[in-house]
Amino acid sequence: MNFKKIKRAIISVSEKSNLKIILPVLKKFNVEIISSGNSFKKISGMGYNCIEISNYTGLSEMLDGRVKTLHPKIHAGILNVRKNKKHRKELKKKNIPNIDLVIVNLYPFEKQLNNKINKKKLIEYIDIGGPALIRAAAKNFEDVTVISDISDYTSLTKELKKYKGSTSIKFRELMSAKAFGLT
């Protein structure tokens, strides 16, 4: 079975309540965590090591938080095909490490739509970076695990425990299909 060790993860979540399910397992397997904005604050506040995305990319969040994860260092780390010698060489040249796990849940646009808030506030719930991260990881499921639904945190922890910090191709394909269904 095709297993992939999880060494580095990006976590950018709107719904943060269930992080307590996955963080201990990521810590157990020494997974480096990169995170943005309020996700970074929450993870750090829970006592877990985490690298703020702006420190990772060298570029601050901008445009009132509209641009956080849309960066070549992030997307190249996710999208590179690990078996592709040219990809490996290019990433090495640019000093871009692999990102093996993407945990993202989207802004609650539909919930806010039902709350009938004004259009200026509502438009800020249109997620751009989140869907881009999800689709990048789902596209590269051969090498990357994507979790786009908090209900899958338990499945992820079971998978990582069962395979000692790795995920199976079967699990990655299933999570990829769910992610494409969402986006």
* Tens-place pLDDT, residues 47-78: 999 999 888 987 777 676 666 777 889 989 99
Grade residue 98 by pLDDT with cuts at 50, 70 and 90.
very high
The answer on pLDDT for 127 being more than 70 is no
User: What is the CB neighbour count within 10 angstroms for residue 152?
Assistant: 22
0.75 exceeded by pTM? yes
Instruction: Report the residue count for the chain.
Output: 183
H helices of 12-105, in order, are 19-28, 37-45, 53-57, 72-79, 85-93
| pLDDT at residue 105, rounded to an integer | 86
- Relative to beta strand 166-168, strand 3-5 is antiparallel
